[in-house]
Every structure is written in structure tokens, then in C-alpha cells.
A and B are shown apart, each in its own frame.
Chain A
Amino acid sequence: MRRAPEPPPKIGRPGITSLPNPNPRFNPTRSPGFETREAVAREDRLRAARLRWGATKLSGARARELNEVADAIDPDVTVSPTTVASSRYMRLQRIRIIGALWELVYGR
């Protein structure tokens, strides 16, 4: 069986996640279809619940791993998530990245 690739270190040169909050003119939350803060918190709760349910079907390290991911996502456990698996984290990054690209397309 092949080994999984080594996960990257969580530290390193700042990259795409180092972008600042966008200029209000280019803030994608102004778009009506963009996910709301409440919707992503609901989604994170759902994800955490489904992961914990998945963990009940497993045992040992695999169950522990799923519970760890659930904790990293769950709004009741982690206020400021830093994982791509979290809808709240992705909303924040999407606002910054989409905002920066939008500003790039339109110029200043």
C-alpha cells in the first residue's frame, strides 16, 4: 500500500492566505448569492456532526482523527478555524482572494 504524502508544515512563507480584507468596493459579500456568516456556521455544525457520526462507526486512531477534524470545524469548539475543511475559514479566504482578484481585474 502506498504511503500518504507528507502533509505540509502549518508554518511557512505567507502565501495566498496572507491577503488583507478587500477594499469595500470589491467585497464579494455585496453579491446576493454569496454565503452569509450564519449559513457557513450552520454548514460547519453540520460537517462536524457528520464527522462525529462517522467516527462512531470506527475505532482507535481513525475515530480519533475524525473527531479532531470535527473539533477543528465545529463553531462550538473552535471560534476561529484555520482549516480548509471549515466553511467559515473558506468564506473568509474567499472574501479576501476573490476581492483581490476583482480589484486586479478592475484596477484600482
Chain B
Amino acid sequence: MAANRTATAPGSCPYAVFTVVPEDWSVLLGTLYLVDPRRLLAAFRQHLYRSAMGLGVGLEGQLFVGVHGAYDPATKTFPLHLHGMARGGMIPIVDGLRKLGKYRPAQQGDGRDAANTPVRISVGPLSNMPDPLTYFLKKYWPARETYVDEHGVRRAYGGKHKGISGPAYIEYLQFFHRWRLEDLTMSMGMHATQNGIILH
């Protein structure tokens, strides 16, 4: 039986689910094998330290993130990003990422590899459980085609996401085969054991 020990009273701590898309995390088709997800997560950890320093706070609370990706047939890239959950003091630190240069939104014609909304965070009670928790450990990477709108900003087409096909599909499966789940996820302020999640 899972035995999650909470250091604080259950329900007293707010939660947030978030998606972050750091700049320059898109990977060209054919080069996914060069990506080391441990380095991406180490870089993200540094971003959190810098955000906490900017806010003048220490790293408190808990966080769990997973590396996720999609395939954009229009640009032949895998835009990598992170989906995660933050708890307690980690929520303002994740929110504070917006102030870092690495999380500046894409602007018209700036030519940067940046997302339109690099930090998306939803704070509050989690409802319709466990659906929000399935978000940061998804079943598969989708194909997500983009286009350039009349303002020169790249946007994704709406509608239902399809699966990846062709050489990109094989490359993505080989990438997954290469790494362990421990390399594709990161937790802070807590760790997993054979008895469940232990909070620090």
C-alpha cells in the first residue's frame, strides 16, 4: 500500500499544475538522439534557483516535472517542454520564471525559438481527479502542426492532436528506449521510495 507521509496537514497547502517552455528547447528531426534529458532538467533546476533568488526566497515546497514533447511537421522539430505540479512555496518560484530571459514570450518577427506562452500555471484546488495529474506523464507525444499567423507569430492549429508518424515516430521511440523514467522526470522537495512519496 502506498504510504505518502505529509509533513504538513493535508489540504493546507495549495497546488498548481504548470507547463513551461524554455527558449531554445526545440530539437530538429534527426537530432533527438543528441538530447540528454538529464541536462535539460538540470538546466531547469538552475532556472528555479535563479527565480527563487530573484524573489529573495529559498527553494521551498515540492515540485514534480516530466519532460514532454510533440512533433511539428511544419518545422520538422520536436518542441520539448515540461509539464509538472508544484506545491506550497514552489508555486511562486515557478510563476517567477516569467521574469527570466529564457522565458520571454515570442514576439512578432524576433526569430527566437520561444513559445507564445512560455509559462502557463493554474493554481487552485485540483478537481476532476486524477485527470490533472495525468497531464505531466502523458501516454504519448502528439503531432502538433503549427503555422505563422498574419502577425508573423507561430501558432499551433487547434483541434484534436494526432499521433506522430513517419521517421519522427521511430526517432521518438528510440529516444524513449534510450532513457529511464528517472532521467525524464525530476522531483524537488520530495522523493519516491518503495513505501510511497516522502516529503522533505
Contacts and interface: CB of A to CB of B under 8 A. Distances in A.
A31 B177 contact: no
A21 B134 contact: no
A82 to B, nearest CB: 9
B170 interface: yes
A100 B185 contact: no
A17 B187 CA distance: 12
Given A20-B1, A28-B133, A8 B197 contact: no
Contact of A69 (B4, B173, B180): B173
A51 B173 contact: yes
Interface residues of B, number: 51
Interface residues of A, number: 51
A31 B130 contact: yes
Interface string A18-54: 1111110010100101110000000000010011001
A106 to B, nearest CB: 7
A44 to B, nearest CB: 11
Interface in B131-149: 131, 133-134, 137, 139-140
Nearest to A47: B173
A87 B140 CA distance: 8
Interface in A71-107: 72-73, 83-85, 87, 90, 93-94, 97-107
Classify the interface of chain A: helix, strand, loop or mixed: helix
Interface string B4-19: 1010011100010000
A40 to B, nearest CB: 8
Interface in B171-185: 173-174, 176-185
Closest 6 CB pairs of A and B: A107-B10, A5-B36, A15-B182, A85-B176, A85-B177, A84-B176
21 contacts: A4-B34, A5-B34, A16-B181, A17-B180, A19-B196, A23-B2, A28-B134, A31-B131, A33-B131, A54-B170, A73-B173, A90-B137, A97-B185, A98-B133, A99-B2, A101-B64, A102-B129, A102-B133, A103-B4, A105-B133, A106-B10
